[in-house]
Amino acid sequence: MIKTRHMGKYRGRDVVQATLKSTSGVEVDIMNYGVVVRDWRVPAAEGLRSVVLGFESFDPYPAQRAYLGAIVGRVVNRIAGSRFELAGQTYALVSNREGLHLHGGPEGLSSQVWDMEIDNVRNQLLFSLQSTDGAMGYPGNVRFEAKYHLEGNRLCLEMAATTDRPTPISLAQHNYFNLGTGADVLDHSVRISADHYTVLDDRLFPTGEIVPVVDTAMDLRAARILREADGTAIDYDLNYVLDPKRDVAKSVARVEGPDGKLALELWTDRPGLQFYNAVTTDIDVPGLAGKAYGKYSGFCLEDQMLPDALNHPGFPSIICTPEHPYTHWCEIEIKQV
């Protein structure tokens, strides 16, 4: 039986956590607020090890803007100028700060209490949310759905959305991982199977250029740690462009913890993968087990459509319609090496 726990209230609605457990001993706590993965515990040599960043209670979540463990959208990542054009009409979005709309805006999907259904037979959780026309400036009434299923060491996520009119949709899971026991992730070994990435300007907005990773610190096709040879940290906050002709049965990323005990692999059907090693993260609230979450405290692998696609016609379209709804799947496995 999937156990639940009352975590608090948000805007008059109950915040509930459900815990998925598998026969391999993995435990994943997921809240109906933002579909947040609050904790994820994996068997290691010393016992269960927490492998994500989160908080012990619900209270810190609404005030934080790090999107710890949440599903983000309606459109993940940055939209330059907080506006876009669709069918000859300009839509002004609610900005996170001047000129920037990030992760669906300040009251995006990650800040909502979703409906949750428990499926004990399949060991899965089903979440749904109705987003009304005009939410954060987006057109269309949209029904969002997310399903988390745990099987062995693999957590599977399926997302879907249906709309009553054309509207942009691009979602992502925003888990922060730390497979080790230290305060930072710089000695994790990371491989990302991508030959190209999207170039950013000095405001971190995509320029529209897609360039090769070869001969740059962005080249993670062969596994490497997140430091230069002299020990200097390398900052990563960019989108990798995945091969559209790849075999999706093969993982696009593999990360091994610094002590060599745990490894993560990720599979996805998306064309992009944002890799972020908490370059600007500085959370003033203690995290799980009282840990401090500062710079480089975790890494994100956000599988998604290409960022700022609304402003770059050369990028794959993120416009969904009643005839062409949104679907997206992602699988993450964390196990002992």
Nearest to 263 by CA among 332, 217, 184: 332
Show the low-confidence residues of the chain (pLDDT under 50).
Answer: none
Q: pLDDT value at position 30? A: 98
Per DSSP, the residues of 67-107 read -TTEEE-SB-SEEETTEEEETTEEEEPPPSBTTEEETT-TT
Q: What 3-state class would DSSP assign to 245?
A: coil
Q: What angle do CA 123, 247, 125 make, to 5 degrees?
A: 15
Q: pLDDT value at position 228? A: 94
Lay out the sheet containing 47-50: strands in order across: 3-10, 13-21, 27-31, 37-44, 47-50
Q: pLDDT value at position 182? A: 95
Strands (E), 136-215: 142-151, 154-163, 167-168, 172-174, 189-192, 196-200, 206-212
pLDDT in tens, 215-233: 999 999 999 999 999 999 9
Q: pLDDT value at position 147? A: 98
Q: pLDDT value at position 303? A: 98
Can you tell me the distance from the alpha carbon of 114 to that of 145, in angstroms, rounded to the nearest whole number? 9
Q: pLDDT value at position 43? A: 97
Nearest to 123 by CA among 25, 2, 4: 2
Q: pLDDT value at position 90? A: 97
Q: pLDDT value at position 86? A: 96
Any idea which residues carry the catalytic annotation?
174, 302
Domains of the chain with bracketed CATH: 3-336 (2.70.98.10)
Nearest to 40 by CA among 188, 148, 112, 122: 148
pLDDT in tens, 68-108: 999 999 999 999 999 999 999 999 999 999 999 999 999 99
Q: pLDDT value at position 106? A: 97
Q: pLDDT value at position 96? A: 95
